[in-house]
């Protein structure tokens, strides 16, 4: 969403009484430079200025930061330092494989700049994932100095009872004063109840979205959560008048982005398939591109096989894409006839430790194919210092502004940042559309604008002579 | 919804394992004859035939049956008898004012034909409505022989804690084996949690809608409820494969009725205004018709005043319309300068007993205006036997088929039935539209079909001579 569609409501959000406002990181950084021609660091500074009384929160992909590879520790330090300098308060740090070693350095970096380090558990279900395991993982994150624990349910898989058991278990194992934030999407239609049971178990903070931006693949509605708690003994500190103002603002903004909306309002298939919606549509597109759009069911049956061979990783970026793409290859070319480079790296430990044992034959095949050997150390331990080189790379780019922030932007998105640097001067580009624009496009797409369906009279000039003529489909 | 859009899925629904299938009564009867040119009795017989293993359920407005006035007891007997004969099993009987005297005869009639009589509590909030009162009301319904109790939350006002307290209270007061059905709409976004707490309190049956027809002003998604309960010790007997088949059926049907859909996905305003969405849009239309569309806020502030003067009736058909319309009159013409006939009847007791004391001055004014006196007896006690007269009326109508069912159809909807009888022979009329139809209409409405926006070449015949010419906006 373009910054200009948010600035007017920031003051109200700052007054509403949220524990934090998640407003940066995750995919927003990428979107800023890829689609909106906005400097993400400028966006962060603007939020900081407009919400002086709020904790600003971001999602940080551990050693991957906001990118898709592991970065050397000094880059992680630099990123966290600059994010804090520009106004970030709460860093929700996670790793797709729940490998604590991939979180450790980022968490330490956050502590070093005196900010809030939130250790994150990615929730998934598999024969190897159970309540006990999640409680243990929380313990390791707390040992690393986590100021709070986030239970992150990116696929709306977290049901009320396990939510209750995990939150209660963490509180009982590590103390009732252990802060727990619960993050659920609402896709499956069960997670509003999940938040209620998590609250009953002692959860301190739960994530919601204002109602006019809620539901579907998004979050549960904030105002509903406030009302839900009446009489339970639990309360929020939220001001309903502020919430209504915020709601009305986004109610007018949301239609501008209709073309980017998911059509899914509620869908429980994931409980059976384990495949997040985003991952499914990726696989469908890959199959269509190969003219095999009809084989999606085979691929969905193949995913559990590939996931098991990989030691049951949670399915979240990037593991969801890696497992999904390999499943597609297996169906199209025969099982493991072709192994993607990413899947080979996953099998060899270059993304970190998976919950379960990985298929030894496939580890061997991956090593053969890539001429790399299996590793058991923290992947980033193998990386050479790269900061100075990243600075040099950035210096070579047109439009580079000389700041460490720009160096980091280019380090995270080397294929996008150079283009952004050259167009940055043109200023933000709002990709939202007015309802009128959307309707006109629909008409033109349907060819209606050029169609004459019934006889109609026109003033036509032929060879200088004007005549009124009737035109109809020839 | 047209019957033809449902027949194909009935067999699956019959196998899914629902406690009952609500498929008739309420507004469906009216819609059949008003819009679909379908005989509602034929529809009931069809459901009966297609779902031989299911309990068929209907909503019955007590002494009003499915109409908008009180009917004499023998008409109530006849209706219940015919509904049972045609296949109805479970009668959910309610009264807009929660006046048990308006339920009693209908409940007895259901018992007399050996069917399931479900006594209904309409849930609302007011200074006079509390958990204790609802528990007492349940007791009166059980004393009347109710086979089960329905807690009916037609406005999505029922929050988790009061739901828990009411269900628990009823179970503790009248026995754990007292069957309680909980019916919530999902408009406010809190009621999935309400169902969970009601289940924890011992509710036996909860109402849901298949996910592809769920949410918004509808009900909570069935599949989500099934998944929600995993690990809680509570289970449903529902078969997920059946549910998915049912979901996929309605997923293809729902778009046909898009033009009839509410735009509201989630809205918590009712917790503040107490005004159900349907009632609000009624009032807005009344105001617009008077060129006073800008005074809706005044009316919303007036509604609580009128509701208090009327003794705090629940706001549900018809009391919601009566209170809402009087509030509109008060704003447009001055408070109670003009009293509607319906509001006068409400004040004089002709709809039954209201929870609280009614404003004595307004009772006096109502009596003066209508030349009627205040009553305290059950309204239907004042009615003369009317069945024979209703038969005579029906006999006089073209297309009357001579059955008691037709007599009842005309008795319930005297302004619609005569027209329906004359067109019945033409068979059902599906008001659903294909996406193509909808798009074409949109184009035509926008005038696009007749527009030429850019130069375009046509074969044009002028005075017998065909020429190819270029046409552009003059």
Q: CB-CB: which of B267, B448, B456 is closest to A443?
A: B448
Q: Which CATH number fits domain A275-381: 1.10.10.10, 1.10.472.90, 3.30.1330.60, 2.40.40.20?
A: 1.10.472.90
Q: Among positive and negative, which fits the CA dihedral B327, B328, B330, B336?
A: negative
CA atoms within 13 A on the CB side of B227: 29
Each residue of B1-26: pLDDT tens digit? 999 999 999 999 999 999 999 999 98
- Where along chain A do its domains lie? 3-257, 275-381, 435-471
A160 and B451 in contact by Cβ < 8 A? no
Tens digit of pLDDT for each residue in A334-358? Answer: 999 999 999 999 999 999 999 999 9
Identify the three-state secondary structure at position A91.
Answer: strand
Q: Indicate if the pLDDT at residue B474 is higher than 60.
A: no
pLDDT of residue B471: 63
* pLDDT digits 0-9 by tens, A393-410: 999 999 999 999 999 999
Q: Do B72 and B389 contact (CB within 8 A), yes or no?
A: no
pLDDT at B454 over 80: no
pLDDT tens digits along A444-465: 665 554 555 666 777 766 666 7
As beta bridge partners, residue B460 has B467
**Which among A221, A266, A456 has CB closest to B211?**
A266
State how far the Cα of A1 lies from the Cα of A260, in Å rounded to an integer: 10
A231/B469 touch (CB, cutoff 8 Å), yes or no:
no
Nearest to A453 among B162, B271, B449 (CB): B449
Q: CB B465: neighbour CB atoms within 10 A?
A: 7
If you average pLDDT over each of A247-261, B249-263, B381-395, which comes out highest?
A: B381-395
Name B160's Cβ contacts closer than 8 Å, sequence gap at least 6.
Answer: A196, A228, A232, B190, B193, B194, B196, B197
Q: Residue A173: exposed, middle, or buried by beta-carbon count in 10 A (0-12, 13-18, 19+)?
A: middle
Interchain proximity B220–A189, CB inside 8 Å: yes
Q: pLDDT tens for residues A94-142?
A: 999 999 999 999 999 999 999 999 999 999 999 999 999 999 999 999 9
**What φ, ψ does residue B185 adopt, rounded to 5°?**
-85, 165
For residue A453, how far is the Cα from the chain centroid?
Answer: 46
CA distance B471 to chain A (A): 6
Q: What are A281-316's pLDDT values in tens digits? A: 888 888 999 999 899 889 989 999 999 999 999 988
| Residues of chain B above pLDDT 90, percent | 79
The pLDDT of residue A285:
86
Q: How remote is the C-alpha of B332 from its chain's centroid? A: 29
Residues A19-30: pLDDT tens digits? 999 999 988 999
What DSSP letter does each residue of A445-462 carry, written as one string?
Answer: HTTGGG---S-EEEEEEE
Within 13 Å of residue A216, how many CA atoms lie on the same side as its CB? 13
> How far is it, in rounded angstroms, from Cα B328 to Cα B286?
8
Q: What is the mean pLDDT of residues A377-382?
A: 96
Model pLDDT for residues A34-84, shown as the tens digit of each residue: 999 999 999 999 999 999 999 999 999 999 999 989 999 999 999 999 999
At B449, the pLDDT band (50, 70, 90 cuts) reads very low
Please enumerate in sequence order all residues whose Cβ is within 8 A of that of B44, keeping only pairs 6 or more positions apart, or say none: B23, B24, B56, B83, B86, B87, B88
* Residue tagged 């086979």 (tokens): B147
Of A162, A220, A266, the CB nearest to B221: A266
Residue A449 has a pLDDT of: 46
The reported pLDDT for the residue numbered B88 is: 98
Distance CA B320, CA B439 (A): 36
Using CA coordinates, name the residue in chain B closest to A192: B193
**Subunit contact B460:A469, Cβ cutoff 8 A:** yes
What is the pLDDT at residue B460? 66
| Dist CA B183 CA B315 (whole Å) | 16
Q: What pLDDT score was predicted for residue A265? A: 87
What secondary structure letter does DSSP report for A35?
I
Pairing status of strand A148-153 against strand A116-122 = parallel
Q: How would you classify the pairing of strands A465-471 and A456-462?
A: antiparallel
B460 contacts in chain A (CB < 8 Å): 460, 469, 471
Per-residue pLDDT band for B424 (boundaries 50, 70, 90) equals: very high
Chain B residues with CB-CB distance to A265 below 8 A: 215, 265
Q: What residues does B116 pair with on adjacent strands?
A: B90
Task: Determine whether the interchain pair B268/A467 forms a contact, defined as Cβ–Cβ distance below 8 Å.
Answer: no
Q: Could you tell me the two tokens for B224?
A: 């989500």
Q: Do A232 and B162 touch (CB under 8 A)?
A: no
Residue A96: Cβ-neighbour burial (10 angstroms; 0-12, 13-18, 19+): buried
3-class SS of residue A375: coil
The count of C-alpha atoms lying within 13 angstroms of the C-alpha of B473, restricted to the half-sphere facing its C-beta, is 7
- A211 CB neighbours in chain B (<8 A) are 189, 265-268
* Alpha carbons B71 and B66: distance in angstroms, whole number: 10
Span B313-336, pLDDT tens digits? 998 888 999 999 999 999 999 999
Asked whether the bond before A105 is cis by omega within 30 degrees of 0, the reply is no
CA distances from B391 to A280, B42, B78 (A): 61, 20, 12
**Count of beta carbons in the 10 Å neighbourhood of residue B258:** 11
Residue A28 Cα, gap to closest chain B Cα (Å): 26
d(CA B429, CA B426) in angstroms, rounded, equals: 8
Give the nearest chain B residue to A163 (CA atoms).
B231
Contacts of B175 (CB under 8 A, 6+ apart): none
Instruction: State percent of chain A over pLDDT 90.
Output: 79
Helical pair A341-348 and A360-370, crossing angle rounded to 10 deg: 120
CATH superfamily, domain B3-257, is: Aldolase class I (3.20.20.70)
Q: Considering only CB atoms, which chain A residues are within 8 Å of B297?
A: none
Across the A:B interface, residue pairs with CB atoms under 8 Å apart total 146
Instruction: Please state, rounded to an integer, the average pLDDT across all residues of chain A.
Output: 93
CA angle B178, B181, B186 (to 5 degrees): 155
d(CA A192, CA A206): 10
Helix axes B131-143, B160-174, angle to 10 degrees: 40
Residue B260 scores a pLDDT above 90: no
Cβ contact A159–B231 (<8 Å): yes
Nearest to A449 among B162, B442, B451 (CB): B451
Q: Verify whether the Cβ–Cβ distance A268 to B224 is below 8 Å.
A: yes
For B93, list phi and psi in degrees, rounded to 5.
Answer: -100, 125
Rounded CA-CA distance B153/B156 in Å is 6
Question: Looking at this predicted complex, what is its ipTM?
Answer: 0.89
Three-class SS string for chain B?
CCHHHCHHHHHHHHHHCCCCEEEEECCHHHHHHHCCCCCHHHHHHHHHHHCCCCCEEEEECHHHCCCCCCCCHHHHHHHHHHHHHCCCCEEEECCCCCCCHHHHHHHHHHHHCCCEEEEEEECCCECCECHHHHHHHHHHHHHCCCCEEEEEECCCCCCHHHHHHHHHHHHHHHCCCCCEEEEECCCCCCHHHHHHHHHHCCCCEECCECHHHCCCCCCCEHHHHHHHCCCCCCCCCCCHHHHHHHHHHHHHHHHHHHHHCCCCCCCCCHHHHCCCHHHHHHHHHHHHHCCCHHHHHHHHHHHHHHHHHCCCCCCCCCHHHHHHHHHHHHHHHCCCCCCCHHHHHHHHCCCCCCCCCCCHHHHHHHHHHHCCCCCCCCHHHHCCCCHHHHHHHHHCCCCCCCCHHHHHHHHHCCCCHHHHHHHHHHCCCCCCCCHHHHHHHHHHHCCHHHCCCCCEEEEEEECCEEEEEEECCC
Determine contact, residues B180/B214, Cβ cutoff 8 Å. no
Report the C-alpha dihedral over residues A56, A59, A63, A65, rounded to 10 degrees: -80
Of A189, A448, A460, the CB nearest to B449: A448
Residue A113, SS3?
coil
Task: Tell me what pLDDT residue B441 has.
Answer: 74
* CA atoms of B47 and B55, how far apart (whole Å): 10
DSSP helix/strand/coil, A160: helix
B230:A265 CB<8 A: no
Would you state the structure tokens that stand for residue B85, as one six-digit string? 């004969």
Q: CA of A238, closest CA in chain B: separation in Å?
A: 14
> Does an H or E element contain A76, and which?
helix A73-85
* Residue B453 clears pLDDT 70, i.e. is over it: no
CA max distance for chain B: 92
């Amino acid at each position: 969403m373009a910054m200009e569609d948010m600035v007017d409501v920031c003051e109200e959000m700052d007054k509403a009484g949220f524990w934090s406002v998640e407003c940066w990181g995750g995919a927003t950084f990428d979107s800023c430079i890829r689609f909106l021609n906005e400097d993400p660091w400028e966006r962060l500074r603007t939020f900081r200025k407009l919400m002086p009384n709020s904790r600003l929160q971001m999602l940080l992909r551990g050693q991957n930061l906001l990118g898709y590879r592991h970065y050397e520790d000094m880059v992680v330090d630099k990123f966290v330092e600059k994010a804090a300098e520009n106004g970030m308060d709460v860093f929700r740090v996670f790793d797709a494989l729940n490998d604590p070693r991939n979180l450790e350095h980022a968490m330490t970096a956050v502590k070093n700049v005196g900010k809030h380090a939130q250790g994150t558990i990615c929730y998934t279900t598999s024969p190897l994932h159970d309540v006990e395991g999640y409680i243990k993982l929380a313990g390791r994150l707390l040992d690393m100095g986590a100021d709070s624990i986030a239970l992150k349910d990116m696929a709306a898989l977290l049901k009320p009872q396990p939510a209750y058991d995990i939150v209660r278990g963490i509180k009982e194992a590590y103390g009732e004063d252990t802060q727990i934030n619960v993050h659920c999407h609402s896709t499956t239609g069960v997670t509003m109840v999940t938040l209620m049971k998590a609250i009953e178990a002692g959860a301190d903070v739960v994530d919601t979205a204002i109602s006019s931006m809620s539901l579907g693949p998004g979050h549960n509605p904030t105002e509903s959560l406030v009302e839900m708690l009446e009489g339970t003994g639990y309360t929020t500190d939220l001001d309903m008048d502020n919430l209504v103002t915020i709601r009305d603002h986004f109610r007018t903004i949301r239609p501008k982005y209709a073309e980017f909306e998911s059509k899914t309002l509620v869908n429980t298939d994931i409980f059976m398939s384990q495949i997040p919606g985003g991952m499914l549509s990726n696989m469908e597109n890959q199959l269509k591109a190969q003219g095999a759009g009809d084989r999606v069911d085979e691929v969905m049956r193949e995913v559990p096989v590939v996931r098991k061979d990989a030691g049951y990783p949670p399915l979240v970026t990037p593991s969801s894409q890696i497992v999904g793409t390999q499943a597609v290859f297996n169906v199209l070319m025969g099982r493991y006839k072709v192994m993607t480079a990413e899947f080979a790296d996953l099998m060899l430990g270059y993304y970190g430790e998976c919950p379960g044992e990985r298929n030894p034959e496939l580890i061997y095949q991956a090593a053969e194919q890539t001429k790399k050997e299996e590793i058991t150390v923290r992947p980033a331990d193998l990386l050479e210092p790269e900061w100075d080189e990243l600075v040099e790379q950035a210096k070579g780019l047109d439009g580079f502004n000389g700041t460490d922030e720009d160096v980091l932007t280019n380090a995270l998105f080397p294929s996008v940042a150079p283009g952004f640097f050259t167009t940055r001067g043109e200023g933000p580009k709002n990709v939202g559309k007015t309802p009128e624009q959307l309707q006109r496009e629909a008409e033109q797409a349907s060819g209606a604008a050029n169609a004459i369906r019934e006889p109609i009279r026109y003033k036509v000039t032929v060879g200088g002579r004007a005549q009124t003529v009737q035109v109809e489909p020839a």
